[in-house]
Amino acid sequence: MSTHFFATAAKGFETLLADELWRLKAANVRPSVGGVFFDGQLETAYRACLWSRVASRILMPLATFSALTPEELYAGARGIDWSAHLGPDSTLAVDCTLFRSRLKHSHFAALKVKDAIVDQLREKYGTRPSVALERPDVRVNLHVHCNRAALSIDLSGDSLHRRGWRDETGPAPLKENLAAALLFFCDWPNKAAEGGMLVDPMCGSGTIPIEAALMAAGRAPGLTRDFFGFLGWKGHDAPLWERLRREALSIEIPKDIMIFAYDCDGTVLEAARRNAVRAGVASCIRFQQADIVELPKPEILGKNGVVLTNPPYGERLRQSGDLQPLYRQLGQQLRRCFGGWSAGILTESAQLAQSLELPLESTVALWNGPLACTLYRYRIPAPVEEQAAPSPMLANRLRKNLRHLRRWARREGTDAFRIYDADLPEYAAAIDLYGSCAHVQEYAPPATIDPARARLRLQEIVATLSEVLEIAPDAIFVKTRQRQKGANQYQKLADQRNFMAVREGDLNFWVNLADYLDTGLFLDHRPTRKRIRELLASGGDFLNLFGYTGSASVYAAAAGAATTTVDASRTYLDWARRNFELNGLDLSRHRFVQADCMAWLGGEGADRRFDLIFADPPTFSNSSSRDSDFDVQRDAVALLNAASRLLKPKGILIFSCNFRRFCFEPEKVAGFAAQDISAQTIPEDFARSPRIHRCWLLKRNG
């Protein structure tokens, strides 16, 4: 049976926590002030205790009631069956927070709840539980807001930022969940997944590098804790908890994590090393004693990295004198050692942040305990390199392609199309036009190619595009396309929210050229989308599986169909809704379902029927919303058999796949005949690379 829970978090962390809970398969995730509501089984709450990096506590609400007076509070607490949660030999503690309440003393309110609990249990058992402020068997949380009391069991027992590995600290250490939030805000999980590096030049007791290592290693932050609030609770499921711990312990730590931690204080640095050993990530971090004025470059310096640190500020400023020279030196060393990287600096002082003299990208307001602080995010200027010149050879090819493709695009009524796809071996990239911008996807060069030479080739592409298209370099968005694994294939690359609208005939779509590897619109599916619209000319019901940003659904809706778009990503479904709104489509006729498609087909969607189903699955996915991964070669037949059962008698299923080595056995889709329509679905701008996708149309036999 599903249960309601509430995860508390520091102010500003709510969105990060909501994203974590979605990944942990929580249902009905609803951010609120100071935390996030969510639903799930007890396993979901246990996973949150074990895996959440930013939550403070996981609460299981028991009841809410009016608490205008101490008597009302006592009666409301007495109305709960406490024997379901603790026995007469248990120990108990009650925490209390009051906000806009007639009850003015939190300690007194906590005592009233404690009295209600022990009085009820004394009447039932003849004896009563005792109070233990440290590690009680059951910790009860009382929160009174506007004279409404909410009573909950605190499943965490102690704040989840206490991971259990930090026995030694330096001056003014960060809380572990604040360090984790800083890492999320600096996009460290994505950078780590791409082989990026992290440097903390003032690591202190090691909180930032240790949390970074735990993230990069995929290690549960709660594994090193020896106590949780549910361990003494009567509802505790010990076998379930042991299974979840064994699962987390079975994850092996990768050997290629590169995190560097420096500090000028050798004693504090030794404490950081011991903390890393207790956390189980000592092999991931290179500790080195170094003063900020002699900051060493890592021996291997990747181009994708982040510097994140918490320099002295605030209270320490009054004890340490003028810190501006320190910040100025830090900025100088970052420019010297880490050009092209991003940097995150947490400080209370805007004046100190300005002393870094780095180009500021964004800020995030946070609290470090009682101190109001700001995370300043910078882009460290890259070293000045020789300006690459346009390539005459590439320019000639681009002009030749554009003469034909621009005329074709005008006839098609589109301003988003491909103009080049590795036509010349020397320039291995795919180039698409989106209105007045260009999107360049560089094919990752083989390891045998000199990185400096490959970088120069890419710069030549940008210079040539700028000249041929007569656009500024900042209107050219460059990414490296390489084989993506698991969840990485749809991860964010940046956080610029750089959206623009492009046109396809009489329809428009939002694209984002900066933040994701893919832009939100698969240009090669243009003919497939048109066919969907033609097949639904008389209306009907349309299902879009793995719906991404809903472009196929927009085409179906424009034909008059009622649509259902299913995708595991909330981000992409929100994007799909925005595409509907951009085209003036009435959202009330259309459903957007966040779910794993395979699970939805066998669950909620099993009783629905459709005239046309479009399935365009990824090659591989290990979405957190499913129990196992999805592999298109292995799972396509199961997907299509499940989808075909949702078709109306004369329904049609269109299946598309971009896995170039895909081998399809249509005879295994029971009762259906498949027609390969790949050639008809490759648009003119992709004619040079017709293997961009394969496409089949399935109809019932007879």
The 10s digit of each residue's pLDDT in 30-78 is 998 889 999 999 999 999 999 999 999 999 999 999 999 999 999 999 9
Nearest to 639 by CA among 625, 623, 660, 657: 657
Same domain? For 210 and 76 the reply is: no
* Helix residue ranges, H only, 583-645: 597-602, 632-644
Q: Would residue 244 count as lying in a domain?
A: no
Residue appearing with tokens 């479904």: 573
For the chain, what percent of residues have pLDDT higher than 90?
Answer: 69
Alpha-carbon distance 418 to 409, whole Å? 10
Residues 317 and 278 in one domain: yes
Last residue of a domain, one of 482, 497, 529: 482
pLDDT band of 319, cuts 50, 70, 90:
very low
Q: Which amino acid is at 655?
A: F
Report yes or no on 168 lying in a domain.
no
Read off the pLDDT of each residue in 313-339 and give the average, rounded to a whole number.
Answer: 74
Q: Identify the three-state secondary structure at position 336.
A: helix
Sign of the CA dihedral with 534 first, then 539, 541, and 546 last: positive
Report yes or no on 532 lying in a domain: yes
Q: How far apart are CA 619 and CA 580, in angstroms?
A: 26
**Residues 369 and 399 reside in one and the same domain:** no
Task: Give CA–CA dist 307/345, Å, rounded.
Answer: 8
* Residues composing the chain: 702
Q: Label the pairing between strands 541-545 and 610-615.
A: parallel
Query: Is residue 426 domain-resident?
Result: yes
For position 300, what pLDDT does the model report? 61
Are 619 and 675 members of one domain? yes
To which H or E segment does residue 329 belong? helix 324-337
Strand partners, 376: 345, 363
Alpha-carbon distance of 360 to 436, in angstroms, equals 26
Q: What percent of the chain has pLDDT over 70?
A: 91
Separation of alpha carbons 177 and 12, rounded Å: 12
Let me know whether 623 and 673 are in one domain: yes
- More confident call, 383 vs 458: 458
Phi, psi for 657 (deg, rounded to 5): -150, 135
Asked if 206 and 324 sit in the same domain, the reply is yes
CA dihedral for 645, 647, 653, 659, sign (positive or negative): negative
Give a yes or no: residue 512 inside a domain: no
- Yes or no: say if 344 and 181 are a contact pair by the CB < 8 Å rule: no
Question: Averaged over 497-511, what is the pLDDT?
Answer: 89
Residue with tokens 């005949």: 673
- Residues 599 and 542 occupy one common structural domain: yes
Q: How far is CA 361 from CA 403, 500, 517, in A?
A: 39, 20, 21
pLDDT band per the 50, 70, 90 thresholds, residue 227 = very high
Q: Are residues 57 and 206 in the same domain?
A: no
pLDDT at 252 exceeding the cut of 70: yes
The upper half-sphere exposure of residue 87, i.e. CA atoms within 13 Å in the direction of its Cβ, equals: 4
Sheet with 562-567, strands from edge to edge, namely 591-594, 562-567, 541-545, 610-615, 647-657, 694-700, 672-676
**Residue 12 maps to a domain:** yes
Distance of CA 139 to the CA centre of its chain: 32
Residue of 320, 313, 260 lying closest to 290 (CA atoms): 260
Assigned domain for 248 exists: no
* CATH of residue 657: 3.40.50.150
User: Above 60 in pLDDT, residue 529?
Assistant: yes
Q: Are residues 473 and 557 in the same domain?
A: no
Question: Residue 368: which pLDDT band, with cuts at 50, 70 and 90?
Answer: confident
Q: Same domain for 404 and 373?
A: no
The number of beta carbons lying within 10 Å of the beta carbon of residue 494 is 16
Q: What is the mean pLDDT of the chain?
A: 89
By the 10 Å C-beta count (0-12 exposed, 13-18 middle, 19+ buried), 665 is classed as exposed
pLDDT tens profile 472-493: 888 899 887 544 433 334 444 3
The number of domains in the chain is 4
Q: What is the mean pLDDT of residues 385-397?
A: 84
User: Does 232 fall in a domain?
Assistant: no
Q: Are residues 17 and 78 in the same domain?
A: yes
Angle at 26 between CA 23 and CA 27, to 5 degrees: 125
Nearest C-alpha neighbor of 463 from the set 440, 493, 494, 433: 440
How many CB atoms within 10 Å of residue 403?
Answer: 9
Where does a domain end: 121, 154, 187?
Answer: 154
Q: What range defines the domain where residue 594 resides?
A: 519-700
> How far is C-alpha 488 from the chain's CA centre?
10
Condensed to tens digits (0 to 9), the pLDDT of residues 65-118 reads 999 999 999 999 999 999 999 999 999 999 999 998 999 999 999 999 999 999
DSSP codes, 522-586? -GGGHHHHHHHHHHTTT--EEEEET-TT-HHHHHHHHTT-EEEEEES-HHHHHHHHHHHHHTT--
The domain that holds 461 is classified in CATH as: 3.30.750.80
Other C-beta atoms closer than 10 Å to the C-beta of 224 total 16
Print the SS3 string covering 191-241.
HHHCCCEEEECCCCCCHHHHHHHHHHHCCCHHHHCCCCHHHHCCCCCHHHH
The DSSP element (H or E) to which 271 belongs, if any, is helix 266-279
How does pLDDT run across 340-364, given as a tens digit for each residue? Answer: 899 999 998 888 898 898 989 899 9
127-132 average pLDDT score: 91
Pair 447, 557 in one domain? no
Among 321, 352, 379, the domain-final residue is 379
Q: Is the pLDDT of residue 691 over 90?
A: no
